[in-house]
Homo-oligomer: A and B are copies of this chain.
Amino acid sequence: MANYVFGVDIGGTTVKLGLFDIGGNVLDKWEIPTRTENGGANILPDIAASVRAKMSDKSIDKEDVAGVGVGAPGPVDGEGIIHKAVNLGWGEMNLKKELTTLLDGMRVEGGNDANVAALGEMWKGGGQGHKNLVAVTLGTGVGGGIIINGKIMTGATGSGGEIGHIHVEDHETEACGCGNYGCLEEYASATGITRLANRQLQASDKPSALRQGEVSAKTVFDAVKAGDELAIEVAKQFGDYLGKGLAVIAGVVNPEIFVIGGGVSKAGEVLFEYIRPAFDKTVFHGCRDTQFALATLGNDAGIYGAAKMVLD
């Protein structure tokens, strides 16, 4: 019986690594740069070398490691094949097989970074005690990860849980980064909230703290907490889009809980005051008891979830 497991979260600029005991206690955390040159050919060898170095450092035998879990920014299917990772320079690759070869047959599991983070939040974060959850990451974009019966739902081509790009507005005139118009991400991400705020500042004559200084998701929710009327209008628009979007997701997958993370979630529980009204109004009655919680692992969700993949 192995005592250790590694969790790896590959980002566009750094790779985060964690060494855990099999109870999920983090024993060590570190980072290495992500070398994206040459089609990202060095990334997996760098990870393998870093894992080996740590094992040697800590005098951990191969037999004492349950395996290495890896989250990567791209669609990863149930076989551990990543279909494209633009930020890493990767095309289609068998992540699981390549890394296991580099690690002399050590067990490797691979998943999409947002899905893996969702698993992390289930294991040790805001979703503890639940087996069916949807993690929603409100960052520069909107990401998502869906966990069904304790397992990542990858979908047919690794696009399961891509909830940032569900269509929520028919009348949008600006394109989303994905090329479509009216995606959830255009209203519920940090960028989206900023855009909603700038539109509202133009459309309204109301005085607002947002008329001075920077307009961002943070300044909007700071102003909401200070009772700023215009900021509250923006928060209502945000909450209306997100609440309705999450209600649809609830009707489809019927999770026990939504776990909300990402930079926007730093605003805290106040988010739920704006999300719940539209959610409660439009959700199927069988899903009305769905809970909402904040994510708690921050940027470490990925390494936790990656480690957990190996332990299942």
Contacts and interface: CB of A to CB of B under 8 A. Distances in A.
Given A75-B286, A153-B148, A251 B179 contact: no
Contacts of A254: 154-162
Interface of A: 75, 78, 132, 146, 148-149, 153-163, 165-167, 178-180, 182, 244, 247-249, 251-256, 281-287, 289-290
Contacts of A287: 155, 157, 159, 162
Nearest to A154: B254
Given A148-B148, A162-B284, A252-B161, A244 B156 contact: no
B167 A244 contact: yes
Contacts of A148: 148, 153
A253 B160 contact: yes
Given A132-B156, A159-B286, A162-B286, A253 B253 contact: yes
Contacts of A285: 165, 178-180
Interface centre among A153, A154, A167 (most CB of B within 10 A): A167
Contacts of A149: 78
A284 B252 contact: no
Contact of A146 (B157, B252, B281, B290): B252
18 contacts: A153-B253, A155-B255, A157-B286, A157-B287, A158-B254, A160-B253, A161-B254, A162-B254, A162-B286, A165-B251, A165-B284, A178-B284, A180-B281, A180-B282, A180-B283, A248-B252, A252-B253, A253-B253
Nearest to A75: B286
Contacts of A154: 254
Contacts of A182: 282
